[in-house]
Amino acid sequence: MAIREKHDAVFFKSRRERLAESIKKKYADASKGIILLLGAFESKNSFRQESSFYYFTGIQEPASALTIDLQPAKTLLYVPNFGNERQKWMSSTILPGQSERFGFDEIRPLGEQSAGYQCHPFFSKNEYAELIAHIQQAVAEKRAIFTLNPSTSAGYVEQRFILMRMMQMVPGLAERLVDISAEVAQLRRSKSQAEIECLYQAIDVTVDAHDAAARAISPGKKECEIQALIEYMFTVRGCSTAFPSIVATGKNATILHYHDNSASLANGELMVVDVGASYRYYNADLTRTYPVSGTFSKRQRELYMIVLETQEFIAQLAKPGFWVSNKDVPEKSLYHRALAFLKEKGYERYFTHGIGHYLGLDVHDVGSYTEPLKSGDVITIEPGIYIPEEKIGIRIEDNYWIVEDGAICLSEDLPKSPEDIELMMATKFDDEEDEIDDQLEADKSEEYETEDDVEN
């Protein structure tokens, strides 16, 4: 359960209020409508709540739904009806009657009791009967239903599937839907101080995992051994992986989303480690490139310094008013400025991906790239050079908080100069076990909490 304290419930309630106000401000007849948000289903092995649903509720209960009647204002949380069955299998269960604790006007069952302890995407009408009755009434009254229903190929796929399923059960629903994904993205883009603290915690854990990995890298080990160490560091610090870990050596490092992690580390090769911890749903995304031997060759150092100088140049430019990428104003486009910088060095054709992305509840977080950066955004800056014929892949990625006059590097504690990388690798992991144990004990004695204040 994500909501642990009363102040957390207030925190999420304030987000719902800001969403309602933004919709009322944009749509003239919004006060007649309702907001509908839908939670994710759980798979056989894992569950991660849909990010926007979590953002506005803090609820990690699978297959939940939220409705907000805009006038008169009333917030209802719908949860699956499992009777007493789910409590035998799962540790977290929200029941009707707990509305005050979680900050809702009312918590209702979705519908009739489900068989078993899980809901599934091809749910029956009976399982969703209460929610469907609410939606049917809204449709009959010709009220707008504000929900996440973009026309993109990959946006909010699971929520859109549930909507399509409900359309089969509620005639006329499709005509009442109004997509609010842009409004939600605007709210989620601008990070509050509390969110920055969650991001920083995820980054801090990721920095420690990189540190352990750097000390463990040596010829003869396998990529998966380094991956296992990194993910162990995440787990013992109370985090999960933000995305599948990329631990790639030699030519594998030129494959941008390499996930096999099965090759052996060879002397003289470079190793790209692109990993991130997830803390309370907020994600880090940090990449470093390490020499397997512990020292960069002359050629490796030459290319590494070009990537590092590119990142430093772009980080110095990043501020409100610049775009992550905009071909129409290349002089204020971070991607195009990076490309031009690399072109001067003769390596632009070896830079085969974008310069960065928004970061937050999703690793590639919501936010329009057609708009310039603004204060409160968090982005990655991650230039790279990939030369398959030389078996060289180099990427350096850090996480930046855009503020009024520039960008603050949230991951500055992770070394990245070639000298500091070599120094970090010089002390092997086995010599650092006591230091890591001390860090884990310190983490246990001090529970990290989100700030009480809700900012912006």
Tokens of 390: 């030389």
Q: Could you tell me how many helices (H) and strands (E) the chain has, helices first?
A: 14, 17
Residue 409, helix vs strand vs coil: strand
Q: How far apart are CA 301 and CA 203, in angstroms?
A: 26
Give the orientation angle of helix 193-216 with respect to helix 418-426, to 10 degrees: 60
Span 207-235, mean pLDDT?
97
**Listed residues 188, 215, 230: the one ending a domain:** 188
The tokens describing 155, both together, are 């946006």
Q: What is the pLDDT of residues 124-167, one digit of tens each?
A: 999 999 999 999 999 999 999 999 999 999 999 999 999 999 99
Q: In 90-247, where does DSSP find H-type helix?
A: 99-102, 129-140, 157-167, 173-176, 181-189, 193-216, 223-236
Q: Which two tokens stand for residue 110?
A: 């979705």
233 and 182 belong to one structural domain:
no
Question: Is the same domain home to 48 and 63?
Answer: yes
Per-residue model confidence as pLDDT tens digits over 302-336: 999 999 999 999 999 999 999 999 999 999 999 99
> What pLDDT, on the 0 to 100 scale, is given for residue 396?
98
Distance CA 42, CA 389 (A): 43
Q: Where in the sequence is the domain holding 194, given as residue range(s)?
A: 190-444
Q: Is residue 399 part of a domain?
A: yes
Q: What is the rounded (10 degree) CA torsion for 353, 357, 359, 364?
A: -70
Tell me which of 155, 172, 188 is where a domain ends. Answer: 188
Looking at the fold, whether 346 and 265 belong to one and the same domain comes out as yes
CATH at 110:
3.40.350.10
Task: Reduce the DSSP state of residue 75 to 3 states and report it.
Answer: strand
Last residue of a domain, one of 155, 188, 221: 188
Half-sphere exposure of 263 (CA within 13 A, CB side): 19
Tell me, yes or no, whether 453 lies in a domain: no
Tell me the pLDDT tens digit for each residue of 271-281.
999 999 999 99
226 — pLDDT class (breaks 50, 70, 90): very high
Instruction: Look up residue 59 and give its two tokens.
Output: 């609820």
Residue 456 in this model has a pLDDT that exceeds 60: no
Instruction: Report pLDDT digits (tens) over 8-60.
Output: 888 899 999 999 999 999 998 888 999 999 999 988 767 899 999 999 999 99
| Residue 197 and residue 180 share a domain | no
Q: What is the pLDDT of residue 367?
A: 94
Number of domains in the chain: 2
Residue closest to 7 by CA, chosen among 456, 455, 451: 451
Residue 1 lies in a domain: no
CA distances, 45 to each of 42, 48, 117, 245 (Å): 8, 11, 14, 18
- Residue 415: give its domain's CATH number: 3.90.230.10
Average pLDDT estimate for 183-196 = 96
Residue 385 has pLDDT above 60, yes or no: yes
Whether 449 is covered by a domain: the verdict is: no
Q: Residues for the chain: how many in total?
A: 456
For residues 381 and 311, the answer to whether their CB atoms sit within 8 Å is yes
Segment (H or E) for 67: strand 65-70
Taking every pair of Cα atoms in the chain, the longest distance, rounded to a whole number of angstroms, is 72
Q: Are residues 240 and 379 in the same domain?
A: yes
Do 249 and 318 share a structural domain? yes
What is residue 31's predicted lDDT score, i.e. its pLDDT? 86
- Cα 259 versus chain centre, distance: 19
Do 220 and 102 belong to one domain?
A: no
* 184 and 268 housed in the same domain: no
Residues 219, 340, single domain; the answer is yes
pTM of the model: 0.91
Per residue, the 3-state secondary structure of 339-387, as one string, reads: HHHHHHHCCHHHCCCCCCCECCCCCCCCCCCCCCCCCCCEEEECCEEEE
260 and 305 together in one domain: yes
C-alpha separations of 452 from 11, 87, 280, 361, 447 in Å: 7, 31, 15, 19, 14
